Structure 1
């Protein structure tokens, strides 16, 4: 099977290895797995067009390579695709990649991709802004911004950058007042963070057992200051966050979040941060995208 691999040329993994060396590594890994590949390194602004062209080649398997933010950016193209698309996760967190069973070295990911099966993925939208896994405000949006800051300051170590970003986020988060609407019900909460996930995450590594469960899960980190945020962070690291008294969770098929301060707040979409004002209406697009996963069809 021949693959056309569209790669975000600005991804950190590509820049560290060098574009030509990275492309050669991809080709060699596909050949080692009994497949062939053509690598197209493109600037982030050209990813949509390059992926669309790859999808038009019906005798090839189109693959997009990049982190969660890269996949987020091409979601409109994935929605229009009439067949499964492969993913090679090249980011730091790779939430979607892990859920698809694509982890480990690049060679392991490519081997898994060559033997993968199509699965369907629910997609979330926020006032027509799409996301595939996570969207949040408060601590979570600050964490995404701090991660970019830490990457620039500590390019030699992703682990150090992550610790610095997490520490700064815990220290600098300020509580927000949010009006949460589910159907006719309304609740007003003061929270350090509100996170909306497409389907339910579990465990210390935040994995989804179902990608097509058809629900949002809303997590509210209660406002309690530095001590509360530290306890919540420890519960996430230990995998006991579901039982944390600092976290309230519920599921819904549609939810509206409105900041009471009426300011344009920072919102994160799969690690990408934007400023948005007014009510944020979260709607689910069930089974909207087909991807290739190294897991069973019944994800």
Structure 2
């Protein structure tokens, strides 16, 4: 089986290894998995066009390589694809990659991808913006911004960068008042963070058992200061966050979030941060994309 792999040439993994060495490593891993691969390293601005061309080639399996933010950026192309597309995770967190059963070393991910099967996945939209996994405000958007800051300051260690980002976010998060609508239910909360996920995450490693469940889950981290944020962070790491007294989780197929202060706030979409004002209207696009996963179908 032949694969055409479109790689974000600015991904940290590529820059660390060097483009030629990284491309050679990908091709060797596909060959070891009993497949063949052509690797195209392209600038982030050219990813859409390069992926579209790969999708048009019926004789090859298209694959997009990059982190959660890269996958977020090509969602419009994936929606139009009309066929399964492979994901090769190259980011720091790789939420979507883990959900697809693609974890471990690059070689392990490619071996799993070669044996993968098509699955369908829901996609979320916020006004005119789409996301595949997570959107949030408050602590979570600050965490995304601090992660970019830490990556520049500590390029030699992802672990150190993540720890610095988490510490800064816990220390400097400020509570926000949010009007939340989930279906016909309305509530006003003062929260350190509000997180909206496409389908439900479980466990310490935050994985989704089902990618096409047709629901949003809204997680509200109650405002309580530094101590409660530290407790919440510990509950996430330990996998006991579902039982945390500081966290409320609700589900629905349509969600609206409105900041009471009417200010343009930072919102994160799969790790990418933008400033948006006004009501944020979340709608679900059921089964919108087809991906290749190394996991059993879940319904």
TM-score bin, normalised by smaller chain: over 0.9
What is aligned with 2:142?
Answer: 142
Q: Which string of whole-angstrom CA distances, capped at 9 and with x for unpartnered residues, describes residues 24-64 of structure 1? A: 00000001111100000000010000000000100100000
Compute the displacement of 1:296 (Å).
Answer: 1.2
> Does the aligned pair in 1 maintain the 2:136–2:268 contact within 8 Å?
yes
How many residue pairs align between the two structures? 299
What is aligned with 2:8?
Answer: 8
TM-score, normalised to structure 2, is: 0.99
What is aligned with 1:36?
Answer: 36
> Does the aligned pair in 1 maintain the 2:183–2:252 contact within 8 Å?
no
For the pair 1:203 / 2:210, whether they are aligned, the reply is no
Structure 2 unaligned blocks of 5 or more: none
Compute the displacement of 1:87 (Å).
Answer: 0.5
Compute the displacement of 1:276 (Å).
Answer: 0.1
For the pair 1:186 / 2:190, whether they are aligned, the reply is no
Compute the displacement of 1:125 (Å).
Answer: 0.2
What is aligned with 1:104?
Answer: 104
Distance in 1 between residues matched to 2:280 and 2:226, nearest whole Å = 27
What is aligned with 1:223?
Answer: 223
Structure 1 unaligned blocks of 5 or more: none
Distance in 2 between residues matched to 1:270 and 1:142, nearest whole Å = 13
Pairing of 1:139-288 with structure 2 (within 5 A):
139-288=139-288
For the pair 1:54 / 2:54, whether they are aligned, the reply is yes
Distance in 2 between residues matched to 1:139 and 1:223, nearest whole Å = 10
What is aligned with 2:123?
Answer: 123
Q: Which string of whole-angstrom CA distances, capped at 9 and with x for unpartnered residues, describes residues 182-240 of structure 1? A: 23321100000000000000000001000001000000000000011000001001110
Distance in 2 between residues matched to 1:163 and 1:258, nearest whole Å = 30
Compute the displacement of 1:73 (Å).
Answer: 0.2
Distance in 2 between residues matched to 1:297 and 1:245, nearest whole Å = 33
Distance in 2 between residues matched to 1:82 and 1:233, nearest whole Å = 39
What is aligned with 2:292?
Answer: 292
TM-score, normalised to structure 1, is: 0.99
